[in-house]
Structure formats: C-alpha cells, structure tokens
Amino acid sequence: MNKSLILHFRPNKIRQKALDFSMTFGLGGMALVLLMMLFTTGILLKFYYLPFPDRAYDSIMHLKTEVLFGSFIRNIHYWSANLLIAASFLHFLRVFFTSAFHRKRRFNWIIGLSLFIITILFNFTGYLLPWDQLSYWAVTICTGMMEYIPVIGKWIQNITAGGAEVNSSTLSIFYAAHTMLFPALIILILPFHFWRIRKAGGIALPDDCSDKADKMDVIPNLILRETVTALVLIAAVLLLSVFFNAPLGDEANPGLSPNPTKAPWYFMGLQEMLLHVHPFFAVCVIPLIILAGLILTAYSRYSDTREGIWFISPKGKATAAASFTGALVLTAFAVILDEYLIDFTALLLSLPQFISNGIIPLAAAFLAFFIFYFLFIKRFSPDKNEKVQAVFVFFLTVFIVFTVTGIWFRGTGMKLVF
Amino acid sequence: MSKSAKSDKDNNSRKTEPTSRRSFLNVLWTVLGIAAAAEFIVVITRFLGRKKTGSNGTSSDNIIQAGSVESFPNNSVTANIQGRFYLVRLDDGGFIALSSKCTHLGCTVPWDDKEKRFECPCHGSSFDITGKVLTSPAPRPLDHYPVSIENNMVIVDTGSAIKREKFLKEQLVYSKKVQS
C-alpha cells in the first residue's frame, strides 16, 4: 500500500549514479521539504495573525509573548522561508552547472525559473505582514521601484500595492497574495515541475553506460537517502528556530525611515545596483536582460550538451574559475571606483541623470565586460558550452558581489563600511 | 496501421472542403474562447484597480492649515507630521511645501539642520533647502504641494504632489505683506 503510493511519485528503478549525493546535493528535495514546513507553520500562523495596519503588529506581539510555542512556530516559518530562497537558488545553480537544462529539460528550466520568481514574491509579500519598521520600509523601497517601469509602472503599483504609499490596501493585497494566490500557484506549478523531470528520465546524468544495465531499486535505496536528507534538514531548521529568533523591529512608523533602510537580503543585489545606476536601468532594463539571457541559455543551439557533468569538463572548470576571478576583481573595483572616485552625475551636470547616471556607467560596465570576454576567448578558445558558462559565471559573480556588499558593507547613509 | 490510413483519408477529405461546417465552428469557438478570456482578464484587472490611493479620504482632509505667516522665520524648515511635508521659508520670505517623500524610492527624508540639507537614509540622496538634488541617486527634486496664504494663514493642499524637474522662482509663494 505505502510502497505503491511511493511508486506513484518515484520510478521503480534508477541508475546507480543517480544516487550520488554530489549529483544534486538533494537541493530540490530540500526545497520541497522547506515548502511543506512553510505551509504547515503558515496555516498555524494564520490562526493568530490580523491583516490590519493598526492590529497586525499587536497580533504578532501577542503571538510572541502570550501564545505557547508562538515564537517557535514563527521562527520555523522565518527560517524555512529564508532557507527556501537559498535552497532554490542553489538548486538553480546545480541545474545550470550540471548542464541539466538541455533538450527535454528546456521547458522545465523555464518552469523552474517561474517557480523561483514566485518563491521570491511569496517571501516578499510575507515580509510586510509583521508591519514593523523593517518590513514597512523595505516594502516602501521595493514598491517605489515599480514607478520606474515605463508606461505600466503606475498601474502595476496600483494593482499590486494599492498606490504609491504602503497603506492598509497594501497590507490586505499582500496578505491575500501571500496566503492564497502564491500558495495556489505553487501547488499548481510544482507538480508540473516534478512531472517534467520524470518525463526527461529522472535527474540529468552523464551518458556513459557503465551502470545502465544494473539498475538499483528505488525502495529502499533512493527513498532512504531522501528521508535522511529531509530529517537532517528538519532537525537543522528546528535547531535554528530554537536558538535564533526571527527579527521584529518597532511598529511601523510612516514618518521615520530608519538609517540605513535596507530591502530584504535577497533584493540587496538590486538595491546595490540602485546606488550605482539610474533606477530605470536597475529595476527594468537589467532584470529583463538577465531574464532574457536565462531563457536563451536553454533555448539556443548547442552541438554537444555534456549533461550531468559538473562544469562541463576540466577545461570548463578552469574557464569558470577564470571568469569568476575576473568578475570578482572588476566588480569590486567598479564599486569602489563609483563610491570614492567617479561621480558621473556631478561630472556631467548638464546631461539628464538618465544619461549621466544611467547610460554612461552601464556602457562603461559593459565595455569592461566585453574587453574581459575578448581576452577570455583569446586565452582559452572555449567551445559554446564553456562560453555560455563563463558569461553565466561572470554575471552570477557580479550579482553575488553586489548582494554581499549590500548586506555587509553598507552602513549609515548607505556608505561603504569595512 | 489501418487507423492511421483512415485518419489520413479524413485529413484529405477535410482538405478538399476547407469551409466545412466543422472548420467554421472551430474558428467560431476559438474566437469566442479568446473573447471570453479577454473579458475575464478585464474584469479581474478592473476589480483589482483601486481608485483612491491611501487612506486619505475626502479632499477637505488634504487641506492643512500649517500656521500663521509670522510663526515661520526666514530660512527655516518646519516639519508637518500630519501632512507629511516640510514647510520651507527661504531667505527672501518665500514659502514652499516640500513632500517628505524621497523621489528615489519613497523613503521619508529627514532635515539635517546642521548640514542644512535633507538627507535620505535609504540610498544616500540629499537635497538642498529648496528640494534641489545635491547628491544622486534621486532623479529629480523633492515634489512640492500647492501653498496659499489666506488671512495671514499658510495653507497647504496635500491632495496631489507636484512633480518638477528643477527648482524655479515661480514655485515660491509670498505673503502680501512681505512683498509690498
């Protein structure tokens, strides 16, 4: 009975190689476990939470101080939510770096990207609900970003945030989205994601045939490994929740922005970008370029796909490392340069900021990238897979440097601090 | 085998009469389906689109009596917490009501009286006493609200903020006594 139920979700037999932990690090499964914990604790929190500006904060305080295990349940929800972002991002990196996005998996790459975007929005809508200073101002910044989307920005802002200011409409919209819309979307799309993996023949594995003849039983081999991973993860989340409380600031005060005001950590890369370029580029142009690039990654033509091999080949490892180092040095240099030496706006006062603080710094950044890319091609003469990987690593590194700078190296007044 | 042969035959017969009742109905259903989906989307977006931003209800709530002209010395910045604006009086006695919302991403901008400028805590933008951008990333000067002076009272209409590209003398409002 149990066995046949499990075999609805899992194949009967799989290749030995599919059991290797280092093939996937169990990240997709971890994301699923975290999601289940979020649904459970989310339902529990819903019994106490009140989505009104004058009562939301008090209801959280009540939960924390009066309700037995109130803090604990909230902490589990908080830690699972943050770990889910991390786990799904790492899962995305794993899929990319084991070339698991070709042919039959192309469309699943798109589904995965959509799920990741939904996860971010899911988390972000939850961020506002405690209605403390932290959440109020983080959401103010992020809804303010929408104004810079041309033509439809105001309209999107009105529908998703109920106007230009964070107010009671924003709270009820975010509450509805967080507790109904996004859970429903996830429940609808996630099975599709899993089903596409089955259709592609399980996880991406190298093409050598050594273990193809002698397949392993899924029960107990795979199920046992999955259960252990899930239990270790659950234990870790529970321990985190016992020892580290979810943050809660003072009650939201629309008249006083804390200094510094920071977006949620997963938006820090975006916020850091906002310090350097005009918001139109940071909020609209660059995210669209990234999204288009990610879709193109799966849908462009490759002569040889090398599925299931980490970093493609030994040369792939070397080129990825070179790209990482180059991007690390260039980005750190650019951030420091922009902070202390060059101020395009002040240098070019006569020009509109759109050009002086938008097109010019971006052009400089892309010029640096193309020079790097040209030298990279000359030095390594990589094939298509390695080129795509190098470009991916480059922009990934820029994003990571921005995020790290934003989280740890920005102090009062958003000045660089060490 | 025989099945596929049969379906081939069907296809052929369909090709010979392209305007059969079936193909007409197919087109009709597709069009109706698209129309229904479009209606559905319109209903949802109209349902979700809110008319009023924020909780400030009727327009009379937006009219704020800031105080008498004399209570604001020249070259001063007075915060109005209820209306979320700063009433600024410049050296020459001109009034301007600056929105306290940063034009970058909407944080509340505090006035630094020592440095004589507004400094946004979120992304480090700063503005001078007239709202002009001193340091980016803010893309334009602070928005301002219409000011009128009646019976020696300074009245600010916070109903709608006025966006501007630069500070102009015309944005200032003077009390009649000072001007004469």
Taking only the tens place, the pLDDT of each residue in B23-69 is 899 999 999 999 999 999 999 888 887 665 444 444 566 777 777 77
Rounded-to-integer distance, Cα A95 and Cα A99, Å = 6
User: Is B139 within 8 Å of A162 when comparing Cβ atoms?
Assistant: no
* Gap from A219 CA to chain B (nearest CA, Å): 40
| Count of pairs with CB atoms under 8 A, one residue in A, one in B | 95
Rounded-to-integer distance, Cα A374 and Cα A315, Å = 18
Rounded-to-integer distance, Cα A149 and Cα A285, Å = 9
Instruction: Give B180's pLDDT tier (boundaries 50, 70, 90).
Output: very low
From the list A385, A397, A291, A292, the residue with the least C-alpha distance to A97 is: A385
Residues of B with CB under 8 A from a CB of A: 45, 48-50, 52-55, 81, 84, 100-101, 104-110, 119-124, 135-137, 139
- The pLDDT score that the predictor gives to residue B164 is 81
As a whole number, mean pLDDT of residues A240-256 equals 90
From the list A183, A238, A176, the residue with the least C-alpha distance to A39 is: A183
Give the chain A residue nearest B165 (alpha carbons).
Answer: A352
Surface-to-core class of residue A214, CB atoms within 10 Å of its CB (0-12 exposed, 13-18 middle, 19+ buried): exposed
Coil/strand/helix, residue A263: coil
- The pLDDT score that the predictor gives to residue A303 is 84
User: Is B123 within 8 Å of A274 when comparing Cβ atoms?
Assistant: yes
C-beta pairs of A156-162 under 8 Å, 24+ apart in sequence = A158/B49, A158/B50, A158/B53, A159/B45, A159/B48, A159/B49, A159/B50, A162/B50, A162/B53
Cis peptide before B137 (omega within 30 of 0): yes
Chain segment A101-117, per-residue pLDDT in tens: 998 999 999 999 999 99
> Which residues of B are less than 8 Å from A414 in CB distance?
122-124
Encoded amino acid at B125, one letter: S
Q: What is the pTM of this model?
A: 0.87
> Which residues of A are less than 8 Å from B55 in CB distance?
167-168
From the list A313, A291, A295, the residue with the least C-alpha distance to A304 is: A313
Q: A169 or B32: which carries more pLDDT confidence?
A: B32
Rounded-to-integer distance, Cα A357 and Cα A274, Å = 10
User: Is A257 within 8 Å of B122 when comparing Cβ atoms?
Assistant: yes
User: Is B54 within 8 Å of A167 when comparing Cβ atoms?
Assistant: yes
* Gap from B17 CA to chain A (nearest CA, Å): 37
ipTM: 0.73
Rounded-to-integer distance, Cα A394 and Cα A330, Å = 10
Task: Choose from A164-178, A185-199, A275-289, B66-80 the range with maximum mean pLDDT.
Answer: A185-199
Give the chain A residue nearest B85 (alpha carbons).
Answer: A255
User: Is B49 within 8 Å of A145 when comparing Cβ atoms?
Assistant: no
C-alpha distances in angstroms, A131 versus A175, A245, A249, A253? 11, 17, 9, 9
Q: Which of A49-58, A215-224, B163-172 has the lowest mean pLDDT?
A: B163-172
> Which residues of A are less than 8 Å from B45 in CB distance?
159
* Gap from A410 CA to chain B (nearest CA, Å): 10
- The pLDDT score that the predictor gives to residue B93 is 77
The alpha carbons of chain A give a radius of gyration, in whole angstroms, of 23
Rounded-to-integer distance, Cα A238 and Cα A167, Å = 34
Which residue of A163, A258, A274 is in closest CB contact with B121?
Answer: A258
Element containing residue A9 per DSSP (H, E) = helix A2-9
As a whole number, mean pLDDT of residues B2-15 equals 50
- The pLDDT score that the predictor gives to residue A215 is 85
Rounded-to-integer distance, Cα A264 and Cα A258, Å = 14
User: Is A255 within 8 Å of B100 when comparing Cβ atoms?
Assistant: yes
